[in-house]
Structures are given as C-alpha cells and as structure tokens.
Homo-oligomer: A and B are copies of this chain.
Amino acid sequence: MSDHLIRLVPILTWARDYDRATFGDDLIAALIVTIMLIPQSLAYALLAGLPPEAGLYASIVPILLYTVFGTSRSLAVGPVAVVSLMTAAALSNIVEQGTAGYAVAALSLAGLSGMMLLLLGLFRLGFLANFLSHPVISGFITASGLIIAASQLRHIFGIDAEGHNLLDLIVSVVMHLPQINLPTAAIGVGATVFLFWVRKGLKPALRGIGLGENAADIATKAGPVVAVLATTVAVWTLDLAQAGVQIVGTVPQSLPPFTLPSFSPALLQQLVLPAFMISVIGFVESISVAQTLAAKKRQRVDPNQELIGLGVANLGAAFTGGFPVTGGFSRSVVNFDAGARTPAAGAFTAIGLAIAAVGLTPLIYFLPKATLAATIIVAVLSLVDFSILRRSWDYSRADFMAVIATILVTLSVGVEAGVSAGVALSILMHLYVSSRPHIAEVGLVRGTEHFRNIHRHTVQTDPRILTLRLDESLYFANARFLEDVILARLAGDDQIEHIILQCSAINEIDLSALETLEAINERLSDMGVKLHLSEVKGPVMDRLEHGHFLEHLSGKVFMSQYEAACFAGLKPDRPVHADT
C-alpha cells in the first residue's frame, strides 16, 4: 500500500490492529452516544427548518464516511447548532421553509459545502481557517447562541414568530405572545427548567452520592432523553395534541434514502457564499474539538486531511437526505469520555441511529416540538460567554473591537455578516499595526559594539550619522511609513551625511519595499546623504542583489551596525578593545 493512499484514507492506519478489547470499548461508547444523539439530531433538524428525520439521516452516512477519511479518533460528525442555524439563515432567504424545495436546497448546500471542504483539503488550504481569530469565533458563537435561543421561543410558547436577527426575533415573539398556547408553554418551560437543573444541579448531586466525574457527566447528558420520554408520554396520555401542542408526528420508518441535490446554477450561485461560510465555521469548530481531544492522547490530526474527511461527510449528507454537518463539540466529548478508541465507535453509532430510524420513529410521534426547542436552548446557552468582552478589553483594544463588531453585527444583521465583519476588522487591524512598525533611532552603548534606542539608553551619537532600526519586515503597507519617518527626520536637518538602516529584524522585503528603498536612496542622494545597510539577513540580501538595488545604493552594506557606524565616521569614546 502506498504511503499516499494511507495518508488519504487514514482508516488503513488503524483497521489492521483492531482487536476484541478495542471493539468492546468502541461499542459501549457508541451506545451512549447513540442515545444522546437521537433527541439532539431531531432538535437540530428542527433548528435547520427541516423535518426531524433529516437530523437522523445527517448523522448516519456522514459518520460512516468520516470514519474512513477522518484523522481524529474521537470526533463525532453530524448536525451541530451553529451550522444548523446558518443553514436555516441561508435557505430561508431563498426558499420557503417546509416546502420540498427547501429540503432539496439543504442537500445542495451540504453538497456545495462538501465540495468546497474537499477542494480546500486537496489543495492544502486549511490555513485559511486561521483567519478566523479566537476573539471573532468567541464573539460569533456567543451571538449565534443568543439568536438560536431566541429563535426557539416560538416553539416553547407555541406561537408564530420569525426573524434572522435578535431584535427582529424578540420583537416578533413579544408581538405574538397573545397567541400563546398554554399546554405547549407548560411543556416548553417545564422541559427548559428541568434541563437547566440537570446541568447545574444534578451533576453535583450525583457526584455527592459517589458517582465518578465521567459517569456523572454522561448521566447528565442523558437529561434530554428523559425530557423526551416524559413529555412524549404526557402528550400521548393527556391527548395534548388536541389542545394545540405541536408534535413531531409521522416520521417515515426508513434507512437514509438516496437523494439528489439540485444543481440549478441559479440556486448554486445563491448558495456559494453561505456554503463557504458554513464550511469555514464548521471546519474551525471541528478542528478545535479534534485537536483538543487528540492532544490528550498525544495523537495527531492533520488539518488538511480533516478538510477531506468533513468534505466527504458533507457530500454523503447531500446524497442521503441530510444537511450540512461537522464535528460537534458535545457529541465528540461524550464519545471521548465514554471511552471510544477508534473511529469504529462512530460507525457503530451510525448503525445505532440507523436502527432508530427504521424501528423507533413511531415512538416519537407524540414528541412535542417544545421539548426539542428546550434541548436546543439549554445546549446553546451554555455556549454564550460574554467574558470574552472583558478579557479582550483587558488584553488589547484591537482584539476587543473585533469581538464587539462580530457580536453586534451578528445580532443585528445576521450570522454571515457578523463573521465577515469580524474577519475583515481583525485583518484590517493587523495590517494597521504592521503598517506603522516600531522604528528606533539607535546609538552606540559606550564600551560595547551594541546599539540601543537613544530614547531608552545613554548612548553615543554623531550629528552627521542617523542610525535607525526597523522592528518589522518591510512590505507595501509599511514601506512608505519608513520613507515618511526618514524624510521627516531629515527635513531641516542639514548636518546629516549618513543614514544607516539596521536590518536585523527584517525577515522579508517585497517589491514595493524595494522600490521605496530605491526612492529613499535616490532622494537621499539628491540631498547629498549616503544610505547604508547593516546586518542584512541572508535571504533578504539575495533578494536585494537580485533586484539590482545594491548597484544603485549610494552607501555600502555592512555585516554589523558597529562596522557601519565606524565607516561613517563615528569615533567610539571608549573602544571595545585597545588594539582595534
């Protein structure tokens, strides 16, 4: 087997050594994850605006495909909250929810996102995700969590309310509150309170009676299953559907069907941007989880191979009645904590969900949508974390501005605009900072060959010599700044005869910077001032030679700043060695 094949199909690296003990561990983890995933999958389908079975389908084939192509041993792939919200936001601009066209558009979105992820992986462009800075991601997740929670209030209260930003949603909920259906509200509010208690109160209680940390965690994760069972039985026995409680209803008993996404150019064109955003956000969420879990076992995930794994998983979702999927945080952590040792656990989970799709769907006929909404609200509110505001404010204003812009734009305009604003702002801020690099005027520390900032140290200078140290690579955005600084320093100062540029911190000089250096050199020549360079790094020197800069340089290039200064006429007050 070629190494190349093994790299592209990571299953080959672990399937050979698979044994009975590993099988047992994987099976138990799969069972636990399956039970947790059933209500979660149904809920996220609801969030994406799709029929509940789409949630199950989206968890089956994608998991199997990720098992073959993914590199994480613990990642569980399927619908997740933020991606489901983005799916709903993207599709409801284009097609009406509940129509057949909506479900087909969801397939197209998954297919397009899958193609993009696959291409990004094959072309090794995983680094693109790095442009989503941590503050932007934190801000985005927090704002999305609030929007998702607000969007579920209509199911909690049994009212009609719509909107894609927080204000619209809240206004709409308040306007429609008179329509409230009391039995629905009782179930919805009751389930929400119960699930919050399970998270906050039950775990300490279980630890109190001696349960281990992991076991208590897993028991807590079963809370949604209990809520689903209890409310389903309540609706069934009390005939609450007649009283206006919205229920899941008939779900087809079927394995994931073979489906075809639409390839209509008009539709694809409208979906390109949302698909790209979903791909990037989904990838970032997934890779963060995968790396966190892998590091705990000194394992390794390959970001570009992860893109391929997620891409294939999404293509799988597109052809089997699903919608966009990614590696989810909560399901992966449960999988890891439950002891999954290989991606086979994922495969067993898929089998478990397939059995559920075929056999258990009649049991959820009476499941109220309010219960699913409650599980979503409790899950996403745990992601809402405003501490990033405080933290970024304390750390740096630039980071704070990126966070606040992301949160405000996400809440007021929408998820895609929010992420775009945050990314654009953080790039602009980075460029701004690097466009005004630190330039120190340096002088000789007496008795040494070292040069230090004249404003911080007592150093020897010479009025005929100006020596500057630039603490950044020179490129188009900051080259003219250097020119401004030099020209400003020279204007009106007729004594200066030599300028020495200490280049020790310059890792790169691009063509703009080269031309600026040429312009500086020429302008200095016009003034009768010589330009020298010192401590130029090897690769930068190669560039300068290649660009013919050195032929026109009025001064010289020196190995050390000290040598350059002495050449220019500096007479050290206290030479380092008497014999030099």
Contacts and interface: CB of A to CB of B under 8 A. Distances in A.
B291 A426 contact: no
Contacts of A303: 484
Interface stretch (A90-98, A155-163, A392-400): A392-400
A433 interface: yes
A514 B134 CA distance: 9
A483 B127 CA distance: 12
Contact of A479 (B130, B475, B484, B547): B130
A430 B476 contact: yes
A490 interface: yes
A403 to B, nearest CB: 9
A487 B296 CA distance: 11
A474 to B, nearest CB: 11
Q: How many copies does the complex hold?
A: 2
A393 to B, nearest CB: 10
Given A292-B523, A395-B511, A435 B476 contact: no
A560 interface: no
A399 B127 contact: no
A512 B134 CA distance: 5
A35 B488 CA distance: 35
A507 B472 contact: yes
A478 interface: yes
Contact of A127 (B435, B505, B511, B527): B435
Contact of A483 (B133, B291, B494, B523): B291
Contacts of A547: 391, 394-395
Given A480-B130, A515-B134, A433 B508 contact: yes
A476 B511 contact: no
Interface string A542-559: 010011000000000000
A526 B131 contact: no
B523 A127 contact: no
Contacts of A300: 487-488, 491-492
A571 to B, nearest CB: 26
Contacts of A546: 394-395
Given A479-B130, A546-B395, A471 B507 contact: yes
The residue among A130, A303, A488 with the most chain B CB atoms within 10 A of its own CB is A130
The residue among A136, A394, A494, A507 with the most chain B CB atoms within 10 A of its own CB is A507
A413 interface: no
Nearest to A427: B431
A510 interface: yes
A447 to B, nearest CB: 20
B130 A511 contact: no
B130 A478 contact: yes
Given A487-B295, A491-B299, A476 B133 contact: yes
Contacts of A483: 291
Nearest to A298: B527
Contacts of A526: 295-296
Given A511-B392, A547-B395, A130 B435 contact: yes
A526 B17 CA distance: 25
Interface in A422-442: 426-427, 430-436, 438
Nearest to A510: B399
A516 interface: yes
A145 interface: no
Contacts of A251: none
Interface string A124-141: 000101111111100000
Contact of A395 (B426, B471, B516, B543): B543
A132 B484 CA distance: 16
A477 interface: yes
Contact of A135 (B507, B511, B519): B511
A477 B130 CA distance: 5
A134 B516 contact: yes
A300 B493 CA distance: 11
A428 to B, nearest CB: 9
A476 B426 contact: yes
A449 B432 CA distance: 37
A481 interface: yes
Nearest to A433: B508
Nearest to A133: B476
Interface in A257-314: 291-292, 294-296, 298-300, 303
Contacts of A394: 546-547
Given A135-B512, A392-B511, A472-B507, 11 more contacts: A127-B477, A127-B481, A130-B478, A130-B479, A291-B523, A295-B527, A296-B526, A298-B494, A394-B546, A399-B511, A433-B508
22 contacts: A127-B481, A130-B435, A130-B476, A130-B479, A131-B476, A133-B477, A133-B510, A133-B512, A134-B516, A291-B483, A291-B487, A291-B523, A292-B519, A296-B526, A298-B490, A299-B491, A300-B491, A300-B492, A394-B547, A395-B514, A427-B427, A438-B507
Q: Rank and list the top 8 A-B pairs by shortest CB-CB distance, nearest first.
A: A133-B476, A295-B523, A300-B491, A399-B511, A134-B512, A133-B512, A134-B515, A395-B511
